[in-house]
Structure 1
């Protein structure tokens, strides 16, 4: 069972749930219904876990070539591809059933699209064929904020789309920082992540572009949701901490600084999501 659970990449799923929760609060304009919250988070866990499991099945050979992923259960043969496929399909279907029964049709549709895009769009079509894989493939990781909104209202709002764009621009520098750290792994597996195929200066320039766009959308979410102005001030302070790490990476491109930037991006998104919840409650 431990091996099957590891197929879900729950550490990655955590970040998706972190953004789903404030989306539920924003959609409810207060504390969301407890039942909808529970089923949305559970359904989201199964959906993301199913997509991640499909990813491990498809990339089993590539995983063997990377030190970071060589011990994954499909790659090592601890779980067969057929059994992995059954597990991935089962929990994906359970997630869709949860959203359909306990939330709304739109949330169910968006969940289906997120799983499908991550598997076929990102893993199969983009990841091994373009250095911009994570830019467009990251759309799947943006979907939870739309799903959270739809689970409550069965509709999408300007605020939910702005939140979507925030995650869209947050994702590339977050993953490129990881790719800088594990550049040799991606190169060995033949995955053209940007740091593998482009000069580090170009990678950092694109990090700056995406992170600056993220700043704009992080403030626009607060403005659109009519949250307290002090949230913008704290958000700018959080961003300053992230930018400090990006400046360090710019001055000294190293695996250590890339790793710190990766962690800083997680800290930013986690605290920002928490602040949105607090802002809705104090609105």
Structure 2
């Protein structure tokens, strides 16, 4: 394949099994919701609820977080339905319920659509229409902008599409306040800028998978060297954005110290990846950066409510 990755039309890609086996279990339907992705979405959305000014009844807050979780799972199910042909070609995803034939495609789509509608209605009833509108935007952006439009067409898929995963803290904030503030936008930007180096680190050591499936991830299209340069740029840009909640006075020095230390460590991982060759050592460095990126985001969002509790 040339540097300008060949994108395979859906009709030209080997189709996975279309019928569900009788052994489909509840676990298979849970897997359609991408529970690992959902856990991070729920956590960042919960932090948005906790640090927002104002008061939301604990039961309403719980329903808001549940709505965020269900909306994330719904988008994940529709994404799996649409990308079942690609998933069948990639070692990392071929055992998912749809390509493995354990769940029928129509069932996955139906589950995604029903959960989408229910999650938005739940958010509107439990909190307000601003939060519900943001949840609608997050679901539609992930399904139509990222999954349908960008994923198979451009190496910037994860840059633009990353906005979908950046909505949860903003939704959580709006559930409490009924509006969008500078702080919630800063939290949105934090996840938005974190997403490219996070996924490009994965793409570096899974490059053959993406190439085989015809997905134009950055390493497939421009090569490892340029991808590493872009990862380093994004980690450097991310550092000052991570400090914005402290600079705005929303949280104090404790969060600021954690953000600074984690950001420097993230840049250090990017530099280490930049300096390694595109071989097994380079793949190991990229794998370590990918794992640290999860710790980085979780650490930042954990430090936000802790700072509010400790510093006040």
Give the TM-score normalised by the residue count of structure 2.
0.87
1:182 matches 2:210 = no
Q: Note if contact 1:181-1:258 (Cα within 8 Å) is conserved in structure 2.
A: yes
Mapped partners of 1:58, 1:225: distance in 2: 43
Q: For each residue in 1:62-94, what CA deviation from the matched residue of structure 2 results, as whole angstroms up to 9, or x when unmatched?
A: 111101101111112211111111111121122
Tell which structure's C-alpha radius of gyration is larger.
2
Give 1:233 deviation, angstroms. Answer: 1.9
Q: Which residue of the partner structure matches residue 201 of structure 1?
A: 225
Q: For each residue in 1:202-258, what CA deviation from the matched residue of structure 2 results, as whole angstroms up to 9, or x when unmatched?
A: 111111111111111110122224321232122111122222222221111422111
Mapped partners of 1:10, 1:227: distance in 2: 30
Q: Which residue of the partner structure matches residue 289 of structure 2?
A: 261
Q: Which residue of the partner structure matches residue 241 of structure 1?
A: 265
Mapped partners of 1:102, 1:226: distance in 2: 25
1:134 matches 2:158 = yes
Q: Which residue of the partner structure matches residue 6 of structure 1?
A: 31
Among residues 44, 53, 78, which one is paired with 1:54 in the alignment? 78
Mapped partners of 1:161, 1:225: distance in 2: 15
Q: Note if contact 2:273-2:285 (Cα within 8 Å) is conserved in structure 1.
A: yes
Give the TM-score normalised by the residue count of structure 1.
0.96
Q: Note if contact 1:177-1:261 (Cα within 8 Å) is conserved in structure 2.
A: yes
1:96-135 equivalent positions in 2, closer than 5 A: 96-135=120-159
Q: For each residue in 1:166-212, what CA deviation from the matched residue of structure 2 results, as whole angstroms up to 9, or x when unmatched?
A: 11111100010111121111111100000111121211111111111
Structure 2 unaligned regions, length at least 5: 1-25
- Aligned residues: CA RMSD: 1.4
Among residues 12, 16, 19, which one is paired with 2:41 in the alignment? 16
Among residues 89, 92, 95, which one is paired with 1:68 in the alignment? 92
Q: Note if contact 1:106-1:151 (Cα within 8 Å) is conserved in structure 2.
A: yes
More helix by share: 1
Number of equivalent positions: 282
Instruction: Please identify, of 242-251 and 38-47, the stretch whose mean Cα deviation from structure 2 is larger.
Output: 242-251
Change in Cα spacing, 1:157 to 1:208, as seen in structure 2 (3 Å) is same
Mapped partners of 2:208, 2:57: distance in 1: 46
Instruction: Please identify, of 18-27 and 60-69, the stretch whose mean Cα deviation from structure 2 is larger.
Output: 18-27
Q: Which residue of the partner structure matches residue 146 of structure 1?
A: 170
